[in-house]
Every structure is written in structure tokens, then in C-alpha cells.
Amino acid sequence: MSSGSLPGFRDFYPDEFALRAHIFAAWRAVAHRYAFVEYDGPPLEPLDLYTKKSGDEIVGQLYNFTDKGDRAVALRPEMTPTFARMVGARANALRKPIRWFSIPQLFRYERAQRGRLREHFQLNVDIVGEPSELADAELICVAVDIMRELGLGPDDVRARVSDRQLLNAILEEIGVTEGQLTTVYAVLDKMARQPHDISRTKLADAGMVPKHVDRVMELASLGSLVELREAFGAAPALVPHLDRFARMLEHAQALGVGAWMDLDLTIVRGLAYYTGSVFELFDARGELRAICGGGRYDNLLAALGGVNLPALGFGMGDVVLGELLKERNLLPTFSGTRADLYVVGGDGALEHGIQDALTLTRHCRDAGFRVDYALNAERYSTQSTRNQVDAAKKGGARAAVYFEPGDLVAVQGLHGKMTEAPRGTFAAAPLLAGDAHAMAAFKQWFDSTIPHRTND
């Protein structure tokens, strides 16, 4: 099969584009509801924007090349460095806290598989300049509210929340050494995907005594703050972290997303730059990859953008989200995007030829109708009305419109059985003349009488 696109890249046919537009619309609607403003940056950036912090090993997954000016460049694999640069350049002039979001198309060069392509769109939502845990609650709430906006519920999607500072304090309490942290993080991250005996072996190999291994493994089963307090609440070093986490949960509760949230200490996120809260959104059945991930990265702007401001954010890709919506039958309908009127040649086509049909089309379009027709003047006068109406119906139009003898314009609804569909006739002359009152009356009748088509 000849594929027209490069591996891991997508063609968006109208069906697929409709899904993408549906997701984008939900992203923008919720982001705007939370008073975030949209920004964007270049899709192509200097290579060193990404290698400076992460090292050369990341190049293997970058879509990079040398441009005609001998610059080492890369298609952006993530938005955060661009975001950090933009914020850093105007940090003093921007009113804090900053609430920004973007919908960049991101690229990575690696083997594509389900839910993971070489190109995808990712909503990025970031808050800069606010250290309070209320900002963390607000951010998680944006992500969860997008799920709600798309028709998903707490039974479909779970928000798993953890906190790096809390986790670090717990590990210190347990007795994990600084040098063992990386291994512990990796083991926690893979807790659900890796057999426990392998996890234990890895911890032991890092030099942990059996008792410490047991306690680390137990962390995975702590699913609530209450359990966490029972296990560690007595430790004075943990109290401020537990209290802060509790306040965040209370805020989230008040913002209406408490029912979606689970405490889960195995959420560590791959990136080293997270410094506080971390969270991921998963489908509740656990069949798909993470829908969304983010957290607090208070030191990153200083490292990337040169300004020392606390920050937090998340990224949410369109690919996994689209798959989830497909699985749950939450795909959009096309009712709002197809033609309202489809002009066909009727019994009045002899007295009102194609020119009159086009004039009518023009006035209807000016009045706000979406108008389609066959783009073939010969067919207008020769093809049977019935076949033309069939074409209109197959094309998803809400109604067919045509001239009838007696200087009339007839409108036939195309929803359901023809005999039961609404039908109306209007004097042709005023509509052809573009008479505003006649057109307004026509449109009012149409809007209140003709139902939208669905694509079931």
C-alpha cells in the first residue's frame, strides 16, 4: 500500500480533521474559561535549545538537520524550552502570575506505534510566578475539566497525583540515600509495568537493605492521604509536606475535581526537572498511554530562560485523547459543518435557470446559510430532481432548495423520511431580489423548522 505520508505522520481527512478540531475546541474553551491566553513560537528551533540541558543523547529522538545556512536546527520536540525563552525575554514586563497556553505541533524521530507518532499536537498549559499550591490545584483542574468538556467522567479518566518534595521527604525518612534516588524513581515509575521481584532486585542492587526495599515497595499501595498519614504522619519532617499536599487536595476539591483524583506515589514523571507536584491523567481501564502529564518545575526557568520564577505546567497530546474518545463513542457529529441548503433543479427550473439559482445561492450565503450545489449547470437542468435530492441528502445537507412553478422557492428538509420532513414554500421574487425582510423571514422559518443532520 502506498502511503502518501512519512511514517508516523498523519493525513487529516475531513473525518479526522473534525476530531482534531473537536479536541482543539475543547482545549481552547476550557483554557479560556480559566483565563489562560494563547501564544505560539516557531516550529523550528536551534538544535542547541534542546541539547543544552538534556545532552546529546536526546538528539537521537530529535527531528534535526542542517539548514541551507549551515545551522543545526530541530523541529520542536516539546514546547517548554521555547516557552521558557519567551517568558525569560520579557519576564519583567509580564504581569504575574502568567497563565499561558499553546497548541504546538511537536515532532520526535523514533519508531511510531499506537498513541505515539512522530508528530502530534499537544496542549501546553503553564502558570509562572506563583509558588502556592493553589496554582497546582488550578492546573490539575484545567486538565480534568477538559476531560469533562469532552464528555468523559471520573469513571473514564483518573488523575493520579504525587509530589516530588513529599516523596523525597518520605524516602529520606525511610532511609534511602541520595545516590539511590534515581533507582528508586525508576522503580516507582515502572511499578505497574514491571514484576515486583525485578523491582526488588533493582533496589537491592542499588545497595538498599531488605527492610528499606519493603518500605519502598509499600509506597505503591498507598492510595490516599489518610493512608499516607497513617504510615508516615508521625514523622515531623513530613508534616509540612503532608499539610501542603492536603491543602492542594482541598483546593482541588473545592474547584470540583476531587472525584477524579487519586494519590499515587508511583507518579514520578520521567523528567528530572520536576520539583513539586506531579500528575498524570490515565484512562480508567489502563489500556492506553497517559493522556496528560505535568507538574511543578520551579528551577527550570532559571536554567533555560535565565529568570528565577516558580512555574508549573502540563502537556496533553491529541493522539491518545483521540483514541480514548473513539473508544468511548464520544466522536463529534458533523451537524454544524455541513451545508444548510443544497440547491437543486426542480420543476421550476425552466422559468428559473441556473443564473437565478446562483443569485438565490448568493443571497442565502450573505444571510448566513451554508449553501452547496452540484457545480454543474447542465446537471441543474437535466438531471432528475430526485437524483439531485439524493446527492444533497448523501452530502449531509439539512435541506434541498429549488424553484417551483408559480414563482416559488421550495425548501425540503432532508432529515428522516421525506414524507414526514418539513417543507415550505416562499415567494421567489423577493428572495431573488435580496429583500432583507423576506430573507430574514425565510431564515427564521428555516432555523426553527429544519433540524440539524446527525452522522449516525
Partner RNA sequence: GUGGCUGUAGCUCAGUUGGUUAGAGCACCGGUCUGUGGCACCGGGGGUCGCGGGUUCAAUUCCCGUCAGCCACCCCA
Contact with RNA (CB under 7 A) among 193, 236, 375, 448: 193
Contact status: 319 vs RNA (CB under 7 A) = no
In whole angstroms, the minimum distance from the beta carbon of 246 to RNA comes to 26
Exposed, middle or buried by CB within 10 Å (0-12, 13-18, 19+), for 26? Answer: buried
Q: For strand 277-283 and strand 105-107, is the pairing parallel, antiparallel, or unpaired? A: unpaired
Nearer to RNA, 280 or 439 (CB): 280
In whole angstroms, the minimum distance from the beta carbon of 351 to RNA comes to 18
In order of 111, 244, 289, the CA distances from 114 in angstroms are: 10, 38, 9
Contact status: 8 vs RNA (CB under 7 A) = yes
Q: What is the DSSP letter of 375?
A: S
Contact status: 250 vs RNA (CB under 7 A) = no
Closest CA to 294 of 58, 79, 35, 98: 79
Contact with RNA (CB under 7 A) among 110, 149, 298, 404: 110
Per rule CB under 7 A, count of chain residues that contact RNA: 46
Closest CA to 125 of 299, 315, 334, 257: 315
Contact status: 80 vs RNA (CB under 7 A) = yes
Contact with RNA (CB under 7 A) among 35, 67, 95, 111: 111
Measure the CA–CA gap between 438 and 450, rounded to whole angstroms: 18
Considering only residues 44-73, where is the footprint of RNA by CB under 7 A? Answer: 50, 58, 61-62
**Is 450 in a helix, a strand, or coil?**
coil
Measure the CA–CA gap between 60 and 366, rounded to whole angstroms: 53
Binding mask 260-299 for RNA (x = CB under 7 A): ---------xxx-----------------x---x------
Contact status: 181 vs RNA (CB under 7 A) = no
Nearer to RNA, 174 or 357 (CB): 357
In whole angstroms, the minimum distance from the beta carbon of 240 to RNA comes to 27
Nearer to RNA, 115 or 322 (CB): 115
Nearer to RNA, 417 or 437 (CB): 417
H or E segment and range at residue 228: helix 225-232
In order of 83, 336, 443, the CA distances from 439 in angstroms are: 49, 21, 6
In whole angstroms, the minimum distance from the beta carbon of 111 to RNA comes to 4
In whole angstroms, the minimum distance from the beta carbon of 350 to RNA comes to 14
Considering only residues 299-318, where is the footprint of RNA by CB under 7 A? Answer: 315
In whole angstroms, the minimum distance from the beta carbon of 61 to RNA comes to 3
In whole angstroms, the minimum distance from the beta carbon of 389 to RNA comes to 5
Measure the CA–CA gap between 281 and 11, rounded to whole angstroms: 27
In whole angstroms, the minimum distance from the beta carbon of 267 to RNA comes to 11
In whole angstroms, the minimum distance from the beta carbon of 298 to RNA comes to 16
Contact status: 417 vs RNA (CB under 7 A) = yes
Contact with RNA (CB under 7 A) among 31, 83, 87, 108: 108
Contact status: 330 vs RNA (CB under 7 A) = no
In order of 313, 361, 374, the CA distances from 44 in angstroms are: 22, 43, 42
The helix-helix angle for 164-174 and 239-254 (nearest 10°) equals: 150
Contact status: 449 vs RNA (CB under 7 A) = no
Residue 56 CB partners (closer than 8 Å, separation 6+): none
Omega of the bond prior to 405 within 30 degrees of 0, cis? no
Exposed, middle or buried by CB within 10 Å (0-12, 13-18, 19+), for 234? Answer: exposed
Considering only residues 346-405, where is the footprint of RNA by CB under 7 A? Answer: 379, 382-384, 386-387, 389-391, 393-394
DSSP string spanning 232-297?
A: HTT-GGGHHHHHHHHHHHHHHHHTT-GGGEEE-TT---S-TT--SEEEEEEETT--S--SEEEEE-
Contact with RNA (CB under 7 A) among 20, 148, 415, 443: 415
Residue 98 CB partners (closer than 8 Å, separation 6+): 87, 126, 127, 128, 129
Contact status: 188 vs RNA (CB under 7 A) = no
Is residue 123 within 8 A of residue 101, CB to CB? The reply is: yes
Exposed, middle or buried by CB within 10 Å (0-12, 13-18, 19+), for 421? Answer: middle
Q: What is the DSSP letter of 149?
A: H
Q: Which stretch binds RNA (CB under 7 A): 131-139, 173-181, 357-365, 413-421?
A: 413-421
Contact status: 105 vs RNA (CB under 7 A) = no
Contact with RNA (CB under 7 A) among 20, 28, 116, 148: 116
In whole angstroms, the minimum distance from the beta carbon of 294 to RNA comes to 8
Nearer to RNA, 80 or 180 (CB): 80
Query: For every residue of 60-82, which 3-state class applies, written as one string?
Result: HHCEEEECCCCCEEEECCCCHHH
Residues that bind RNA in the complex, under the rule CB under 7 A: 1-3, 7-8, 50, 58, 61-62, 77-78, 80, 108, 110-116, 193, 269-271, 289, 293, 315, 379, 382-384, 386-387, 389-391, 393-394, 414-419, 454, 456
